[in-house]
């Protein structure tokens, strides 16, 4: 495997991702570019792809939307708003057995993803959704 250099740009991108809330590559680029205008959009996209391919961050595939990225690698689930696309991490002990599955039905399990498709408080308030 080719050794990846840990450049200043990569560190800046990772630090921005760790402070962000499941951004798209474009959103992360916009945040990074404000304080580091020499970092190009192509660099942000390439670095995020490398991090995801190496298992250092999670790439969240959202149907009908751009992929989002998550720096939290500890086992957790997501609350995902179907109206605005907002994603929040959720961790609770009841999910530990699910994430702990090593092999099932002869399959080698590499990772597990749990998404709770939901409506966030802001969208629920605006749409007057109850329950």
Instruction: Give residue-wise pLDDT tens across range 63-83.
Output: 888 999 999 988 889 999 988
DSSP string, the chain: -PPPP--HHHHHHHHHHHHSSS-BHHHHHHHHHHH-TTS-HHHHHHHHHHHHHTTSSEEE--TTS--EEE---SS-EEEEETTT--EEEE--GGGHHHHT--EETTEEP-----EEEE--HHHHHHHT---
Give the model's pLDDT for residue 1. Answer: 45
Residues 106-123: what's their mean pLDDT?
A: 86
Tell me whether residue 103 is in a domain. yes
Tell me whether residue 1 is in a domain. no
- Pair (15, 57) in one structural domain: yes
Q: Residue 35 sits in which domain range? A: 8-68
- Pair (80, 63) in one structural domain: no
Known binding-site residues for Fe cation equal 96
Tell me whether residue 3 is in a domain. no
- Domain endpoint, select from 32, 47, 68: 68
Give the model's pLDDT for residue 78. Answer: 94
For 27-51, write each residue's pLDDT tens digit. Answer: 999 999 999 999 999 999 999 999 9
Counting the structural domains of the chain, the total is 2
| CATH code assigned at 60 | 1.10.10.10
Give the model's pLDDT for residue 11. Answer: 95
Tell me whether residue 2 is in a domain. no
- Pair (61, 78) in one structural domain: no
Known binding-site residues equal 81, 84, 96, 120, 123
pTM for the model stands at 0.81
Known binding-site residues for Zn(2+) equal 81, 84, 120, 123
């Amino acid at each position: 495997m080719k050794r990846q250099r840990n450049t200043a740009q990569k560190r800046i991108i990772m630090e921005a991702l760790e402070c962000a809330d499941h951004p798209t590559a474009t959103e992360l680029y916009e945040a990074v570019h404000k304080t580091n205008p020499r970092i190009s959009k192509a660099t942000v996209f390439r670095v995020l792809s490398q991090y995801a391919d190496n298992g250092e961050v999670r790439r969240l595939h959202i149907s009908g939307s751009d992929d989002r990225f998550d720096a939290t690698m500890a086992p957790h689930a997501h609350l995902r708003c179907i109206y605005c696309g907002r994603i929040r991490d959720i961790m609770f002990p009841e999910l530990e057995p699910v994430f702990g599955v090593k092999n099932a039905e002869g399959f080698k399990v590499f990772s597990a993803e749990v998404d709770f498709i939901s409506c966030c408080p802001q969208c629920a308030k605006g749409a007057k959704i109850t329950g």
